Structure formats: structure tokens, C-alpha cells
Chains A and B, each alone.
Chain A
Amino acid sequence: MRTSRPRILKIVILGESGVGKTSLMDRYVCNEFSQQYKATIGADFYTKDVIIDDKPVGLQIWDTAGQERYQSLGSAFYRGADACVLVYDMTDARSFDALDSWRDEFLISAAPRDPDSFPFVVMGNKVDVIDRARAVPTKKAQDWCYSKGTNVIPLFETSAMDDINVEAAFDAVARSGLRRGEQDEDFIPRDTVEINRKPVDEQCAC
């Protein structure tokens, strides 16, 4: 199904407090990074127009608050989403463990028609941090991405500060959202898992 009007995609960014959701958004939408983000309360709304495969696409991005108790507010922000970004902090194992609950909560609140194949993208942020130990090995994140739903969830290790992989990750989000809209498109086969990382890491399995 192809139309001349730009497709509008609603994207929701979820994850623990302080993992860098707002900074990823700021990097992607404004190409900026600041050390001084205010804590997000409720949700902030941003838009970005992109061209994907020569087609204009309008992204409506919802940057949400990360504190766990805010999950119960979610439904209003999650409803009608076309894709969901799950963010964790690579230096904080707990933020990675929380992905399960964020994903489940999203699927309950948003109640998409295709919960098993709904497009998620996982971003492991703060890949630039060198003074703290890395708490989530790539392999662990990769395994998680393999184990959820019928499709493999694309995984990106990103840095909003150093602008690593942010554009590529959101590009994947937009594509997966578009793909969901196109009914004649096949599901992503299992062998196309994307582990896009610029910095070399000895633990990297790819």
C-alpha cells in the first residue's frame, strides 16, 4: 500500500529513569547534547520528518518519564503507537533487567493487535562511559532480544553524548514501524539480527 501523503509514525521511548531517553531524543531530533537535562515528568512530545527509501515519513516521538510508578499512567501515551524504543544504561544492570517489565507494561497498556510481532528496538545507551564498568555484556542483551516475540528485536549500543549509533537506531525504529504498516511485508527473519556497534569490544559476539 503506497500513498503520496507522508506516513505518520507514533514512537514511544521507554526505560528506567536516568538511562538517557531524553538525551537520545535530543541527539536524534536536534543533534544536540547537554549535561543538564531536567527530569521528565509525564511525557514530552517531539516530531521529526525523515525520508526513508525516498518516502517522506513523519515521526511523532513520545519521550516518557522513567520512574516505575509512572508506568500506570502509560496508556494515554502508549495508545496507537507504531513502534516502541526500550532504552537501558549499559553501566547499570538493573536498568537492563527492567526492560522486561517495560515491554510487558507497554503491551498491556497499548494493547496492539500484534503483541508478538509488535516492533520494538532496544538501545543500550552510554557506550561512551569508560570510568564505570560495563554491566551488561552485549551477549546478554542479544540473547534477550532473541527471546522476545516472534521477531528478533534489533539491538543498538548507543551514545547520545558522542553521537554513536543514534541515527542508525532511530532509522531502524522508523523502518520497523513502516514495515508493520505494510501488510504485504514479511516479518523480519531471524537471521537478520542487527548488532550495530562502532567501538570495538572484546565481548562483542558479532
Chain B
Amino acid sequence: MDVTYGETQRIWELSDSTDSDLDNPHPLVPEASVRTLSPQDEPSQSPGTSAASHPGLSLDALSIGTSSAQTPDSAPESETDSASCGSSSGGIFATFTREEDECDHQQYHEEDCPENARRQTHPSASCGDLPSSDSASSPRTRNSSSSQAMLKSLRNSWKKVKKTGVKSTTSATKSLSTLSSTYFNATRSDAATRETWEERHSRMGDEWLTSIIPNWSKKKKTARVRTLVFRGIPANVRGRAWQCAIGNPLNVSEQLFEVLKERAYSGRMEYIRGRETVAMADGDVGGDGGKAETLLESERSAHKAIMLDLPRTFPELTFFHAEGSHYEYALRDVLEAFLYLKPDVGYSQGMSFLAAVLLLYMDPYEAFCSFANMLLHKSCFLHFFRIKMPEVRFYLTVHDRLLSEEMPALHAHFKQHGIDSDLYMINWVMSLYCRALPLDLVTRIWDVYVLDGDVAIFRAALGILRFFMPRLMKMKFEDMAYFLSHIPAEDLPADELLQSVRAVRVVTKKRFRDLFKECGSVYNKASEK
């Protein structure tokens, strides 16, 4: 493929414009110049991967033409992408997500109640919020609650899996799958008279595949899609739906990913060789490792941090880290490729969780594409991962303001006991809830995130706080600080959490933008003084 320099230039221009897009909502903040990877920067950027040592890897080799870029809007024709990933990622939480769907009281309700059933047949009609309780006369209520009990025991096993170490995980996983099959059989017999579990699940998946995903830009704003998203995207189409919702405005092509991976490979090799050199030099009495260390400094620390964090990302998912499993390598590739795509952002702790979740539903290139677009396109992540002050502080202030409007009593309670939002928000935002919540809840929040963007992160925070507000109001500083850094996820049913998130009214995109601007102007006035 012939790629002219002009074409290759595009991506960098695009990524520059992304930065300005990102900074657009808060023009009042004096912005330090954002350095993006540009052809001119290249030789000095990464001495370990200079064009001289890798002649094949000059920037001209990057093919980023729009024709080669697979835009997710037009992508979902083939059946092979996320489905294969979703099923091979096994089960543990593909299973869980399905259960969450199945447990949705709304489903039982719909099947029983003709009115709701009618809504179901009219995709454009709004389904409204989930009902808070089942009708007592419903013959399925009992079954549904027994299913709930089973789900609870499932989640307890999951908790056990998380708590116990590597050795016991396999057996715990086995017992988990036994439990889940029991559960499925029970649920299946519940619905056998009307529609089997497979039929309903495949119907929901079909709606996503045939109706929603191909017409995403039209449908994303409909009430129907919103309701389906809050109910949870079916696991078998989740990867495709996420890709479609995140999109590829940066035009990250597969070829670009390959080139970045190659660069990352040689960078990593340099790092490993350098590490050996430095270690030897340090071992000598009065040895001089100084020169080698200086050369490797910036990349070295990033490669080191990535390698260190690979096993520390979802360590409870044994299939992810099993010997011979491709997940860990793919995770390394995605993170390292991003390191070379945006050296000014590099690698920040938290990224590995984001990339890992994507990899559970997508293949490595798709995950990289979504990862880059998620982080770089109109997103708060860029500020958070660079820990860029004062912007990060603004986001936290915006959260405080929204909290004070949504739940004034809780806000006052936090203030009285000295609970800062730093305490939980840094963790929640920078891992998009991966460190705070179990994966079945994380994926549900991500469903909303891909639909709404940044505001969903802050809405979810208020949703969690609102859910636990009665408990938090009874606590003092120590208990609250512990509670917020160790959310008891077993007390947090997915559907109720999502209801709580959906019920948050104060967070709208406009309100969010306005508050952010306000923070900027207050800050600017203060710094002028």
C-alpha cells in the first residue's frame, strides 16, 4: 500500500486536534503545550528505537490512511470478533453478566405483564425505569427470588475466588461453574413455558446485532437503547457494542498497531539488555552504571512499570494469567503500543485495568483501538493519567459540587468528618471502577460509560454513594474511609446499583461542562490575585 507522508501526517494532526478538543471545554485554563508524537520528535523521543537501528520503522512506514482504518460503525459484519473473545474469556464473567440479565426483575415482569410485553415488541418505545418490586400475584416471583438466592450464593463463591489464592482458585471456579449451571437450569425451567433462556438471550443479542449496532449513530439517543444499556448489554455482543459506541475518531489502523508493537518490542529488548548492564555495573564496587541509566531513563521506567503491573491486573482471573494464556501478552502489547503512540502520556497505573477489561471482550487490535480512543478523545482520562494539575483538582471539585447538590446531607457529613473526594474518586476514576467493584458490576458501569462518556463515571460515583448513603450517614471518619476504599460489593446488587445510577439527576453533560468552566475561572482569578 502506498502511503504518502501527507497521509501519515493525518493521524498526528488528528491527535493534536484531539488535544485541543479535550481542552476545549475549559478554555480558561492556561494549558501547557501538549506534546504529541510527531515525525520531528521521533529520533530524540526514543533513542532505543531510532531509525538508524531500525531502518524499517521510520514513520513513513505507518499506514494510517482512512481506507485501511476499520471504523467500528461499519465493522460488525463478520461473526468472529468479540464473540470469540467473549466466549474464550470464559466464563467466569461472561456467565455472571448473563445472570445479571436473567435476574433483572423487569424480564420476569415483561413476560407476565402484557403491557410490558407489548413494549418489548416496539423497540422504539421507552421501557421506563426498572420496577422496584415484583407483583405479589406473579407466579414467577417465588422462582425469581429463589434464583436471586442462588445468585447470591454464586456471588459469595466469586468472593471466595477473589479472596483465596492461586491454588484454591481452580476448585473454586469449578464449584462456581457447577453452581451456575444449577442456576441456569432452574432459570431455564422458569421460562420454559414461553421462551427458553437461550432464545431470549439470543433475541436480545440479535436486537443489538441487527438493529442497534448497525444504526448506532441514529439509535444511541433513543430511550430504548438507553434502557437496554442500563439493563446490561448482553455479554456475547458487548465487545462489538463497546467498539461501536467508542468509535474510532482517531483512525487508529491495524497497521499502526503492528508498527507500534514492533517499536515496543525493540524498546523492551533495549530495556531488558540495559537492565542487565546496569545491574552488572551496580554490582561492581564503585562501578558506574550512570551512563546506561541515563540513556534508558524514560522508557525504562515505563517498561518496568508495565511489566510490574501485568500480574497485578485482575490477579484473581486465573485464566488471564495462566501459563500460555495470550491475555497477559496482549495486555502488554496494548499498553506498550500506547506508550509509543503517546509518549507524553506514557504508562500510568490504572491503564492496565482498562486495557484488560477491553481485552476480555475484544481482540488485541480492537482493544488497542478502543483504548486509544477512550483515553485520547474528549476524555478526562488524559488529565487523570498525566495527573495534570489543576485539572484533576477541577474534576474532583466538580464531583464535590454535584454531590452537594444531589445529596446535601451526605456532602455535609463527609465535610464534617474530613472525608475528601480524593480518597475514593482517584481510585474509582483511574481504574474506571475496576479496583473498587467486581467485574460483573464494572462491565455494567462500562456499558453506561460507552454510551455517555465522562459524565457516566461521575454519575456512577454518585449512584454508589447514594446507594450506600444510609450506611455512610451512620459512620465516622475511620469507618467511612475504610468503607470507601473497600466497597463491600457483595452488598451491591448490579441492578439496584444501575437503578441508583440512573436515578442521579444532577449530572448532565451541560452541567458538568459548566461546572468545570466555573472551576477554571475561579482558579484563574485566584492565581491572578
Contact = CB atoms under 8 A, between A and B. Distances in A.
Interface of A: 17-18, 34-47, 58, 60, 65-70, 72-73, 76-77, 93, 133, 135
Contact of B349 (A34, A36, A67): A67
Nearest to A36: B315
B481 A41 contact: no
Contact of B316 (A36, A41, A45): A36
Contact of B348 (A44, A60, A67, A76): A67
Nearest to A97: B293
Contact of B422 (A46, A58, A77): A77
Contacts, number: 88
A60 B423 CA distance: 13
Contact of A38 (B283, B422, B423, B435): B435
A76 B165 contact: no
B165 A35 contact: yes
Interface in B278-302: 279, 282-283, 301
- Best-buried of B309, B316, B349, B482 by chain A (most CB within 10 Å): B349
B348 A69 contact: yes
Contacts of B166: 35-36
Closest 6 CB pairs of A and B: A42-B426, A36-B315, A76-B422, A42-B427, A45-B481, A39-B312
A41 B478 contact: no
B352 A42 contact: no
B481 A60 contact: yes
27 contacts: A17-B305, A17-B308, A18-B308, A34-B165, A35-B315, A36-B315, A36-B316, A38-B435, A39-B309, A39-B312, A40-B349, A41-B426, A41-B435, A42-B423, A42-B427, A43-B423, A43-B485, A45-B484, A46-B482, A47-B482, A58-B478, A67-B348, A73-B387, A73-B392, A73-B422, A77-B422, A133-B279
A116 B424 CA distance: 31
Interface string B393-412: 00000000000000000000
Contacts of A76: 420, 422-423
B350 interface: yes
B430 interface: yes
Interface of B: 165-166, 279, 282-283, 301, 305, 308-309, 311-316, 348-350, 352, 386-387, 389, 392, 420, 422-427, 430-431, 435, 478, 481-482, 484-486
A90 to B, nearest CB: 13
Given A65-B349, A67-B305, A133 B283 contact: yes
A24 to B, nearest CB: 15
Contacts of A18: 308
A70 B423 contact: no
Contacts of A40: 349
Given A37-B315, A135-B282, A42 B430 contact: yes
Contacts of B311: 36
Nearest to A79: B420
A169 to B, nearest CB: 22
Given A36-B166, A76-B420, 18 more contacts: A17-B308, A18-B308, A37-B312, A38-B312, A39-B312, A39-B313, A41-B350, A41-B427, A42-B423, A42-B424, A43-B426, A44-B427, A46-B482, A47-B478, A67-B348, A69-B387, A70-B387, A135-B282
A160 B478 CA distance: 25
A58 B386 CA distance: 35
A67 B283 CA distance: 25
Contacts of B305: 17, 67
Contacts of A77: 422
A44 B459 CA distance: 22
B387 A72 contact: yes
A75 to B, nearest CB: 9
Contacts of B312: 36-39
Nearest to B310: A39
Contacts of A68: 301
A58 to B, nearest CB: 8
A17 B349 contact: yes
Nearest to A75: B422
Contacts of B308: 17-18, 39
B349 A73 contact: no
Nearest to A33: B165
B424 to A, nearest CB: 8
Contacts of A44: 427, 485-486
Nearest to B427: A42
Given A60-B481, A69-B348, A70-B349, A38 B313 contact: yes
Nearest to B289: A93
A133 B486 CA distance: 36
A94 B425 CA distance: 30
A73 B350 CA distance: 14
Nearest to A66: B349
A18 B306 CA distance: 11
B389 A72 contact: yes
B165 to A, nearest CB: 6
A76 B426 CA distance: 11
A41 B430 contact: yes
A179 B386 CA distance: 38
A205 B425 CA distance: 45
Contacts of B425: 42
Contacts of B315: 35-38
